[in-house]
Amino acid sequence: MDSIDHLFEAALTAQTQAYAPYSKFQVGAAIQTPKGTIYSGGNVENASYPVGVCAEASAISAMINGGERAISAIVVMGEGAELVTPCGACRQRIFEFSIETTRIHVAGPEGIRRSFFIDDLLPHAFGPGHLKAET
């Protein structure tokens, strides 16, 4: 099993653990870091809708708590016929921790549907370089 297969399986598992009692739309995400570590997360809804958490944000939080700061690849797993790409806020979150070669893989239950670089999803992004922040 190669690394994309491991990421796919981790995102699928995270999707099954997602908490989505209101929308019934479970999303899972799995991140691989340059060290090869995989972190995953699922969306977590709340009766007060604005305080829910996206799957990508959940996985990024796990990565940060694991002491890592770079995303090599991420798989976002959703249902339905349409591509379930990261929302705008999650595109910004992914950009914050992307490296030049970061790949965003959008998947459904059957497998990877399409892959992107972050510049494809968030062209001309604002980020740490604009603030001269060290990451």
According to DSSP, the β-strands at 111-117 and 71-77 are unpaired
Reply yes or no on whether 56 is catalytic.
yes
Q: Which of 116, 113, 67, 118 is nearest to 92 (CA)?
A: 118
Catalytic residue among 9, 45, 56, 82: 56
CA–CA distances in Å: residue 119 to residues 61, 83, 115, 126: 22, 17, 12, 11
**Residues taking part in catalysis:** 56
